[in-house]
Structure 1
Amino acid sequence: MDNKYKKLVKCVLLDAVGMASLAIPAVGPFLDVVWAPIAASISYKMFGERKGKYTSLITFIEELLPATDVIPSFTIFWFLFDFLGIGKETQKIII
């Protein structure tokens, strides 16, 4: 399996962990408070220093806000950055 698709599997699993708090009605919001900084840190490391500072902030906010757990943010970021290649740094040729 290509590394790009291994990363996709990790993203889907991380999104599933984030959505799991919906299954526990009374405790779910408290789990989100714990999961939000963890998810933000993982997002930062997963998508690199340049893009990671934005993805981690978005992930942190998404995990803290109520009713946004259904948004698969890791998978969306993978699709944008790894599949479509948005934001890829191009090599400059110096003459």
Structure 2
Amino acid sequence: MINLKKKLLVKGLIYDAIGMATYAVPLVGPFLDLLWAPYAAKKMRQMYSGNKGKVASVLVFLEEILPGTDVIPTFTLMWLYTFVWKKETANEIVLEAEVI
């Protein structure tokens, strides 16, 4: 469980950093978000199972596609919700087979 939690946190931090990095690229950043938003939503859905993963994938898509919201660390907030605020069991978390 600890390795799963750590792996999800590291992946989330990386994905949040990538999402925020597109905001820093003048003129091209918004167009990069058009590519990043669906990819981020797919990754969120793969990282978290059930309805919460579906809801989180929609939220991360909207956060990435809407202008000025790239600074919200959606993946990190989802990790906090899952492991700190809600304290889900390991059986409800599904980690994708992909290695970082």
Q: TM-score, normalised by structure 2?
A: 0.81
- Displacement of 1:50 in angstroms is 2.2
Match of 1:66 in 2: 67
Q: CA RMSD in A?
A: 2.0
* SS at structure 1 position matched to 2:49: helix
Match of 2:39 in 1: 38
What amino acid is the match of 2:25? I
Count residues in correspondence.
90
Q: Give CA deviations for 1:37-64 in whole Å, capped at 9, x if unaligned.
A: 0000101111113211100110100000
- Structure 2: gaps of 5 or more residues: 90-100
Superposition pairs of residues 56-95 of structure 1, within 5 angstroms: 56-85=57-86
Shift >2 Å, 4+ stretches: 82-88
Separation in structure 2 between the aligned mates of residue 56 and residue 26 of structure 1, nearest angstrom: 26
Match of 2:14 in 1: 13
Q: Over alpha carbons, which structure has the higher Rg?
A: 1
- Percent identity, aligned pairs only? 47
- Structure 1: gaps of 5 or more residues: 89-95
Match of 2:95 in 1: none
